[in-house]
Amino acid sequence: MRKLSADIIYPIQGAPIQEGVVVVDEDGIVLKLDIRSNHAQEELEIYEGCIIPGFVNTHCHLELSHMKAKVDTGTSLIPFISGVVSQREAPKDTILAAIAAAEDEMIAAGIVAVGDISNVEDTFAQKSKGRLRYYTFVEFFDFLQPSLTESEFKKYKAVYDALVLADGHQKTCVPHAPYSVSANLFDYINQVNTADLSTISIHNQETPPENQLFMNKTGGFVDFYQGFGMQLDAFEATKQASIKYAIAHMNPRLRTLFVHNTLSTAKDIQAAHAWSDRVYWATCPNANLYIENRLPNYRLFLDNDARMTIGTDSLTSNWQLSILEEMKTIAKYQSYVSFETLLQWATLNGAKALGFDKDLGSITVGKKCGLNLLYRLDEKGSLCQDTAIQKLV
Ligand SMILES: [Zn+2]
């Protein structure tokens, strides 16, 4: 048994506790949450800073870890995707070593669960070790080409079938993005995901050409597909934002995690909320800066009571895999988002989005949530650019 104490404990579910104490058993399960005066001083581990639950990273592509610093920053999404496609190949042992190192990095950064996109099986052996809790989103795309729908579905369904889940892990089949998934492929995917309590993820409104494609069938994606010899004959502009196409083809009974949302407007957010009460939003601010050099407008999400979560995206589009670094970026550029709000996004909201909140996301008796110390806070006890993390449990 350990009794850990800090200047303040943020249980997330419940009010912050000044000079609080969290008691955990040898497995890390929370037994009790109270205050220092209830304990003999010599039994306590006392830290400067705040204790928070383990972080939940709702968006990563662990299988792309070997491409760290390979693709240029600031080019925008379409050149970025071209860079990923052309540089993805590497020797198997390089790929596997990078996956293991990236997982180590996430564990050291206090992350306890990950929503991870897979196109191939490369991460499955690492995931089976159960060192982090994974929700694997096996991702499908057919580039809006009817001639590819069936063969691409079979290809990715085989990846999905190959994943043997470790204890507590989950998997679903998910559409990549509105601009890369035909209506028929959405239907195929929906037929696999029948459990109401599963989570579906989809990349959303990450770059201006995405809405251009849906509004007018113009812009960079038309050229991008033509560059690969693919015409968009079967695709007709919907004359609406891309998210409308996505929700027209997705199941509102499932939890849906919209990822990036860099260009989402208040109307887009409201449309998603009107469609389903199980909507979550994942923001990956450092990846947005890396790829597009811009950020979502978080005010719109706050004003619409959006359930926000935080992801790191992959090492291909980020400098590190750290939820704390993502929080710092939001705090730096949109400092009206409070520290406590960011903590909620980074922990409990992420756990709920992945359906892992029975065990994770808050310091609650019975949960095995992981415990992190944040230290070097500012004079008000808030996050600042110097803030560092130590994984305690
Ligand atoms: Zn992604």
SS (HEC) of 128-167: CCCCCEEEEEEEECCCCCHHHHHHHHHHHHHHHHHCCCCC
Instruction: Please give the CATH topology (third level) of the domain spanning 55-360.
Output: TIM Barrel (3.20.20)
**AA identity, residue 299:** R
The pTM of the full predicted model, rounded to 2 decimals, is 0.97
User: Cα(270) to centroid of ligand 1, in Å?
Assistant: 23
Report how far residue 263's alpha carbon sits from residue 297's, in angstroms, rounded to the nearest whole number.
Answer: 8
Q: What is the C-alpha R_g of the chain?
A: 21
User: Cα(259) to centroid of ligand 1, in Å?
Assistant: 7
Report how far residue 343's alpha carbon sits from residue 317's, in angstroms, rounded to the nearest whole number.
Answer: 23
| pLDDT tens string 343-380 | 999 999 999 999 999 999 999 999 999 999 999 999 99
Q: Are 347 and 53 in contact (CB under 8 A)?
A: yes
What are the structure tokens assigned to 156, written together? 């990715």
DSSP letters, 17-29, are: EETEEEEE-TT--
| pLDDT tens string 271-309 | 999 999 999 999 999 999 999 999 999 999 999 999 999
Q: Which segments of the chain belong to CATH 3.20.20.140?
A: 55-360
Q: Which of 65, 143, 146 is nearest to 99 (CA)?
A: 65
Q: Are 141 and 118 in contact (CB under 8 A)?
A: no
What are the structure tokens assigned to 353, written together? 């989005």
What are the structure tokens assigned to 279, written together? 């909507």
User: Cα(5) to centroid of ligand 1, in Å?
Assistant: 37
Report how far residue 20's alpha carbon sits from residue 4's, in angstroms, rounded to the nearest whole number.
Answer: 8
Res 163: pLDDT = 97
Q: Would you say how long the chain is, in residues?
A: 393
User: Cα(131) to centroid of ligand 1, in Å?
Assistant: 22
Which band of pLDDT confidence, cut at 50, 70 and 90, is reported for residue 28? very high
User: Cα(168) to centroid of ligand 1, in Å?
Assistant: 23
Helix (H, G, I), strand (E, B), or coil: what is residue 33? strand
Res 303: pLDDT = 98
Residue 196 has pLDDT above 80, yes or no: no
Which band of pLDDT confidence, cut at 50, 70 and 90, is reported for residue 158? very high
Residues contacting 1, CB < 8 A, separation 6+? 23, 24, 25, 26, 31
Res 17: pLDDT = 98
Residue 22 has pLDDT above 80, yes or no: yes
Lowest mean pLDDT among 143-152, 186-195, 243-252, 280-289: 186-195
Residues contacting 218, CB < 8 A, separation 6+? 212
User: Cα(59) to centroid of ligand 1, in Å?
Assistant: 6
Sign of CA dihedral 35, 36, 37, 39: positive
